Structure formats: structure tokens, C-alpha cells
Structure 1
Amino acid sequence: MFRQIGINVRASAWKQVRFNSTNSTPALNWVDFLKLKKENHVMNITASVFTTLAGGVVTLTYLGNYEFDPEKPILGMDPIMMMGGGVVLGGFVGYLFGPTIGTSLFRLKNRSILKQFLQKDSIFLTKIKANRVDPSSQSFSNPVPDYYGEKIYSLKGYKQWLRDCNAYRRKTKEFL
């Protein structure tokens, strides 16, 4: 049909085109994976800030409406100090909920490539586990470089982490 209208098409070119493709998203490369990893971290930190403030405000609102006798100690301590500690504790509990909410938002936002992200994350963690150093000989002058690879958000950072791990190994061999 295409030859009739003047378009010369090789038969092998048609084999490369898939009209009913099930995978409409391109493969996730390492640069994009590390950007998504950083985005997940930023979302977790942001959610932690908001949940910390929300936990503190909710606790302060509850304790502000609670009637207590300011002259009677609570658990042997000054009631105002206990109320302040309760607000700090409420903020801390809110902080602990932050990463859960941040991860949920990240998964909801990136659900189209989530499967690829989780596969790359598994491969990344396997590479980190294979290349990390033995922390048994660490000291103040020779600390372990980012044992879990939590601060790696770029290929440049990963290469630097590998160099730091090799420098750590070299130092432990030379000074033991």
C-alpha cells in the first residue's frame, strides 16, 4: 500500500513498530532514578515538617482546653512543664508519621513508573551492599562513608561514594 503512494518502506522497519504496546513509559535510567530518589527524600522531609507542626498544634489545642490545677503536680512535676513536654511529644509523634505520608504521596504521584522505580531501587541497594565497607575498623579519624548510601542522589555522588569507600579500604589496610 505504501509503495503505491511512493513511500519506500523496508519490511524490517515494520517489525520494529508495535501498535499495541503495553509498555507506554520508557525505561527508567539511573539519572532519572536518582532524581526520583531525591524527590522522594524531599517529599518525606517536607511531609515531616508539616506533620510535626500539625502534631504540636493538635496537642497544644487539646492540652489548652484541658482543665488542670496549676498547684497540683502531675507525676511529681510542674504542670506547665508537663504540658510543654506533651506538646513536644505530640510534635515528635507527628514527625514520625511524616515519612509515611511523604512516601504515600510520592507513590501516588509517580504510580506510572513506580514498578520500574522499585526495581531500580532494589538493584541500587544490591550495588550499595556489594560495595560498602566493613565498619568494624572505623575510628574518629577514619569514619565509614555513608554506610547505607542514603546521601547518593546523582551519578557524580555515587562515583564519589565509591572513591570514598576505596579510600577507606586503603586506609584500613595501611594503618592496621
Structure 2
Amino acid sequence: MKVEVVPHDPTWRVKFEDESKLVAQALGTNVIAIHHIGSTAIPHIYAKPIIDMLVEVKDIAKVDEQNSAMAALGYEAMGEFGLPGRRFYRKHDATGKRTHHVHTFENFSGLQRHLAFRDYMIAHPEDANRYSELKRKLAKQYPDDINGYVDGKDGFIKDMEKRALEWKRSQNICNM
């Protein structure tokens, strides 16, 4: 897989909103919430141009029953795809370029981690810019090695997730 990061595209938010309505319809009443996650959800930073959606559901087993509805939207069902308890879908455009990922979980404990990371990056543009620069550097360093790219981000992401969760906890304490 070619590693490509591009400048933020303001249409990503609209693409998420439009696609999330279709996904919600396909997955039906099992859906609790759909969240825009990943770098396309963070304004002003470089990102791989793939919209990531985190779908929280009541019953993960019922998601499998909707694979044909997801296929009708152009999604390929990937099963757990390396993460127990997840159902993962990916979508490509007519040229074969990946456009969307759907990560579906039931009672996902990592939900707060993903949302805290996104919200922290939005609230802390200096850290978001550092992340953006790291992604650009790694994309140049590993243009044809997605694993090298992902591994290169790992330490930074773990550090930011820790900061983000602490920040989120402090926000919740202040809002009580």
C-alpha cells in the first residue's frame, strides 16, 4: 500500500457526515453512535485521505447480519481484522483507492481513547502540528511501507493518548 499524506481537506467532515448516515441506515437500530476519528477529523493537519468512522453498537454479533447491507454501500467486510471484538469494513472508489474505514465495536473501552486523542489534538494545535510533521516525514521515509509508517507513529501516538486522557479527565473534573 502506497503511503500518501495530504493537506487537510475541509470536505472530509461533510464526507464523514454523509457516509455516516448511510452506514447508520445499513447497520440499523443496533447503532448507538458514529464518531469521526483519525487524522481526517483533526483540522489543519496532513492525513491519509481515508475517512475513519468508529461505530458503537449494542450487539457486535448483529453487525455480521448486516454485511450485505454494507456491501451494497461498497464496503468489504474484513471481520475482526486483527482486533478481537471489532468488525472492520473498508471501502474503495471506482479507481480502487481506499476512501473509508468503519471500525465497529460493542462497549468499546478504547472509544474514550480515540475520542480523547481527537479532541486533544483539536484543542492543542501545536501538538497536532507536530503530529502532522511526523506523518509527512514518515510518509517520505516509508513511501511504500505502511508498516514502517505506522510503527514510526506509534511512540508519538501513545504519548499523545496518555496526555489526551489526562487532559480529558481534567476537563471532566472542571465541568462537574
- Shorter-normalised TM-score: what interval? under 0.3
TM-score, reference length from structure 1 = 0.25
What TM-score, normalized by structure 2, do the two folds share?
A: 0.25
Which structure: larger Rg? 1
Greater helix proportion:
1
Whose relative contact order is higher, 1 or 2, with alpha carbons under 8 Å and at least 6 apart? 1
User: Larger strand proportion, structure 1 or 2?
Assistant: 2
